[in-house]
Amino acid sequence: MTVKELKAELDFYEDDMDVIFEVDDDFEPETITESKYGWREVRIREKLIPSFISEISGDVRIELGKMG
């Protein structure tokens, strides 16, 4: 899915909704870091593609799966 296609898909949702990403496959993270505020950053070497987009409890949920 291209960025243009993803933007077109997200046009159906309200602008002020939060987006939640969920990874639907097993993968090994390259690094995991946490800021002093509790934000976590996970780096992976996999290419992920959106497999499902839905609205849940006022948020947009995007499930991601490994490409290929």
**For residue 37, what pLDDT is reported?**
93
**For residue 60, what pLDDT is reported?**
92
pTM attached to this predicted model: 0.66
**For residue 65, what pLDDT is reported?**
86
What is the rounded average pLDDT of the residues 21-44? 88
Residue 59 pLDDT class (50, 70, 90 cuts) = very high
Measuring CA to CA, how many Å separate 53 from each of 11, 26, 40, 45, 63? Answer: 12, 19, 23, 23, 6
CA geometry: angle 59, 19, 28, nearest 5 deg: 125
What is the rounded average pLDDT of the residues 3-27? 84
Is residue 21 over pLDDT 90? Answer: no
